[in-house]
Amino acid sequence: MTVRKNQALLTADEKRRFVDALLALKRSGTYDAFVTTHNGFIMSDTDSGARVGHRSPSFLPWHRRFLLEFERELQSVDPSVSLPYWDWTADRTAASSLWAADFLGGTGRARDGQVMDGPFSAASGAWPITVRVDGRGHLRRALGANGVQLPTRAEVDSVLAMPEYDAPPWNSASDGFRNHLEGWRGVNLHNRVHVWVGGQMATGVSPNDPVFWLHHAFVDRLWTEWQERHPDSPYLPAVGTADVVDLQGTMRPWNDVTPGDMLDHTPHYTYDTAA
């Protein structure tokens, strides 16, 4: 059974195996296919049209499935690997071990944002940015550089307290848990973390930075925490909403999975500690 662990608690060997599996997927081309898929959805999901991966109720089940697919690819390289999660309410500075040279590497240099250390630096030669929106082929970051602060646990708790999963109009204007977790309204959790990291993480090709997976693994864990706090609150909408994936609607691009299939994570993985 896959156990997803807090990145701060990984051993040196677990970090090395995770990094090596990422590099193997990069070499084979599998990694960049995930970047392409994400960018395709982020550019086509709109508030007034069809929306699946973002700004809609299926933001959470879509990313759960997306991470499951990616984790399975990692495990095809090394069966011992699972996706770690980054609790950005706790490890909230660029000095966190997450950003050390033996794991993801640090922030970018001022001149051009280029990450200069770690396994994903341009100098390593192992992490070319090929699915991109501009001419730059190196990983970039600007951790906290624009004055943004990572969300606090109190801010997370204020969102977890929201009893309703989602609400009409089921988009970036919605009230409810999903949109406040996604960040288009209110204190802003998920979106703000993308902005805090900067570089490719702030763009539509955000999975170019491996921290994408650790960020979304924690967002996914917060969904589980919310379910535990509100066991009687269902996924919404239940049925029949134009442009939106309802409980038993199939999600692109897989077309064989519904939000209803993704509500329970425990057939797929568990966590290192109770939520």
Binding site for another protein (CB under 8 A): 36, 39-40, 42-49, 55, 112-113, 132-136, 169, 171-173, 183-184, 190-192, 194-195, 202-206
Query: What tokens does 207 get?
Result: 């999975």
C-beta closer to another protein: residue 9 or 50: 50
Beta carbon of residue 215, minimum distance to another protein (angstroms, whole number): 11
- State the nearest-atom distance from the C-beta of 273 to another protein, in Å: 28
Nearer to another protein, 77 or 116 (CB): 116
Closer residue to another protein, CB minimum distance, 184 or 269: 184
- Residues 217 and 167: their CA atoms lie apart, in Å, by 24
| CA dist 144 → 65, 116, 198 (Å) | 29, 17, 8
Shortest distance in whole angstroms from residue 42 CB to another protein: 6
Distance CA(158)–CA(121), nearest Å, equals 37
**Which DSSP symbol is given to 54?**
S
Residue placing its CB nearer to another protein in the complex, 53 or 119? 53
Q: For residue 39, what are the CA distances in angstroms to 13, 54, 191, 240, 267?
A: 32, 11, 15, 27, 28
Nearer to another protein, 18 or 177 (CB): 177
Q: How far is the CB of 248 from another protein (least distance, A)?
A: 24
- Select from 263, 89, 268 the least CA-distant residue to 193: 89
Closest CB 204 distance from another protein, rounded Å: 4
Q: Is 233 exposed, middle or buried (0-12, 13-18, 19+ CB in 10 A)?
A: middle
Q: How far is the CB of 51 from another protein (least distance, A)?
A: 10
HEC profile for 78-110? CCCCCCCECCCCCCCCCCCHHHCCCCCCCCECC
Closer of 108 and 119 to another protein (Cβ): 108
